[in-house]
Amino acid sequence: MNTYAGQAAVKTGSLQTKILASTFFALVVAACSQIAVYLPISPVPVTMQVLAVLLSGLVLGSRWGAICQAEYLVMGAMGLPVFAGFSGGPAAFADPSGGYLFGFVLGAFLAGWVFEKLQSKTHFAAWAAGVAGIAGIYIVGAPWVGIWIGAASGGSLKSTLHGAWFAGVVPFFGIDLIKAFAASGIALGGRFGCGLAANFRRLF
């Protein structure tokens, strides 16, 4: 099957190289998590994590993109300060952002999987795959925000659904589409990444 060359390289590379690549992207996600802005309409900050998550899926492929994000979660669960605000530990999964952390695994997988299935290395294909990844992140993350807000408001279904949509999706959707566009450019070695993905592929 003719998939994006970077993903094919990851699949055929040595296990050591795959682990190094996965760890590298996990550290990129950790670094991007520290670029955070809190909005008054949501308890979840806007971070650059989504860009790094999508990039891991586009460059590493579905399987290793997901493994990369699982590795990131393990780092945080062990107490390493890899989450937003240099936080870490199991308690971080219980806060409003906790659902998104788990959503990163699905998001990276979907971004890589869709890119593989499209069998194309165009910017539009990469962007579309990134949008699929964003949907995966929201599918897991937004309901948890809704539950958190609903519990704080008495636990009504209306407040839960309202919170999931207006605090878990609406504040982030526009900027996340831009992140998907940026990730597509970096993954394809375009103007945003100055050939980052191309250089990475040469390691395999």
pTM score, two decimals? 0.88
Find all residues with CB under 8 Å of 159, minimum gap 6, and list them: 149, 150, 153
Question: Vertex 154, ends 103 and 146: CA angle to 5°?
Answer: 15
Closest CA to 34 of 97, 83, 104, 101: 83
Closest CA to 107 of 154, 158, 142, 148: 142
Please report, for the domain that includes residue 138, its CATH number: 1.10.1760.20
Give the residue numbers spanning the domain of 102.
5-201
Please tell me the chain's helix, strand, coil percentages from 3-state DSSP, rounded to the nearest 5: 70, 5, 25
- Name the domain count of the chain: 1
Q: Block means of pLDDT (10 residues each) for the chain, length 204 residues?
A: 50 80 96 94 95 96 96 98 95 96 98 91 93 98 96 86 95 97 86 46 46
Find all residues with CB under 8 Å of 192, minimum gap 6, and list them: 182, 185, 186
Host H or E run for residue 183: helix 170-187
Length of the chain: 204
- In whole angstroms, how far apart are CA 40 and each of 11, 15, 72, 146, 167? 43, 44, 27, 16, 10
